[in-house]
């Protein structure tokens, strides 16, 4: 009987040692896991810091590009406004003037020169698409608003291209239907027109109206693009504050 109790005691002592060893091993494993997690977290912080530094540089460069684009756009809008006024003045002369003077003729000549132009600039959207992707990957709170503004800008560029294509197609079609006795161009590309017929020819007057209407749409498209550029500039400023704090 005594031997039996001794064996039980030795067994319990042996199991107690195993329990202590198991607890020690589990503790070691937990420490290793915690160490790995801390290392991964530090690595993530470093990666995020590097990405933020890169994004800050991209955003600052974009602000410079935006300022340049706004200036170009506003200059172009002023030019388009001049074309709109020129075509309008030509229409007023045709409707109201009885005797054509040299000065009136100069206005008409200038109007004929600007008829095909809309003033829309072709733009590359690759930089904006790249900027949108960079911001989307970040953890910035207001990134969705900025991405939306960039999308609106790109849509505005597409609208401008569609407007240009439509305008050129319309002018080409009307060009073929215009009465050559009303308006034609000589070998030097100088306008030769019959002022009396201009006052009664519906197709020609519609031609002028259509050109002016397309120019107004072009200007309005440019104004919306400027508004979105300015909004994007303000949003980028807020992103920079968030990244640099």
State the sign of the Cα–Cα–Cα–Cα dihedral 116, 118, 121, 125: negative
Instruction: Kindly report the average pLDDT of the chain as a whole number.
Output: 82
- Domain ranges across the chain: 61-244
CA of 17: how far to CAs of 4, 13, 23, 179, in Å?
20, 6, 10, 110
Write down the pTM of the prediction: 0.75
Please state which of the ranges 145-149, 207-211, 231-235 shows the lowest mean pLDDT: 207-211
Please state which of the ranges 43-47, 91-95, 222-226, 235-239 shows the lowest mean pLDDT: 43-47
Q: Where are the beta strands (DSSP E) in the chain?
A: 183-185, 191-193
pLDDT at 2 over 80: no
What pLDDT score was predicted for residue 231? 96
Q: 3-class SS at 193?
A: strand
For 79-133, the pLDDT digits (tens) are: 999 999 999 999 999 989 888 888 988 899 898 888 878 887 777 888 899 999 9
Q: 3-class SS at 192?
A: strand
22-43 average pLDDT score = 68
232-238 average pLDDT score = 94
pLDDT-derived band at 183 (thresholds 50, 70, 90) equals: confident
201-213 average pLDDT score = 87
60-83 average pLDDT score = 94
Question: Which distant-in-sequence residues (6+ apart) come within 8 Å of 45 by Cβ?
Answer: none
For 9-29, the pLDDT digits (tens) are: 555 445 555 565 555 556 667
What percent of the chain is modeled with pLDDT above 70?
A: 82
177 vs 217: which has the higher pLDDT = 217
């Amino acid at each position: 009987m005594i031997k039996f109790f001794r064996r039980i005691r030795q067994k319990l002592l042996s199991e107690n040692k195993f329990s202590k060893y198991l607890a020690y091993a589990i503790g070691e494993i937990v420490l290793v896991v915690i160490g790995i997690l801390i290392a991964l977290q530090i690595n993530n912080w470093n990666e995020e810091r590097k990405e933020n530094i890169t994004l800050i540089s991209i955003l600052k460069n974009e602000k410079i590009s935006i300022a340049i684009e706004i200036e170009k756009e506003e200059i172009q809008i002023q030019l388009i406004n001049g074309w709109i006024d020129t075509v309008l003045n030509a229409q007023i002369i045709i409707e109201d003037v009885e005797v054509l003077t040299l000065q009136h003729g100069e206005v008409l000549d200038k109007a004929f020169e600007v008829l095909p132009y809309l003033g829309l600039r072709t733009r590359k959207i690759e930089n904006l698409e790249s900027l949108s992707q960079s911001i989307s990957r970040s953890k910035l709170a207001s990134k969705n608003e900025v991405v939306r503004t960039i999308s609106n800008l790109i849509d505005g560029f597409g609208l401008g291209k569609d407007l240009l294509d439509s305008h050129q197609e319309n002018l080409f079609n009307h060009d073929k239907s215009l009465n050559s006795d009303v308006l034609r161009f000589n070998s030097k590309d100088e306008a030769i027109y019959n002022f009396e017929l201009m006052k009664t020819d519906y197709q020609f007057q519609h031609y002028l109206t259509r050109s002016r209407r397309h120019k107004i749409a072009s200007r309005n498209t440019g104004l919306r693009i400027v508004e979105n550029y300015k909004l994007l500039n303000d949003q980028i400023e807020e992103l920079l504050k968030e990244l640099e704090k």
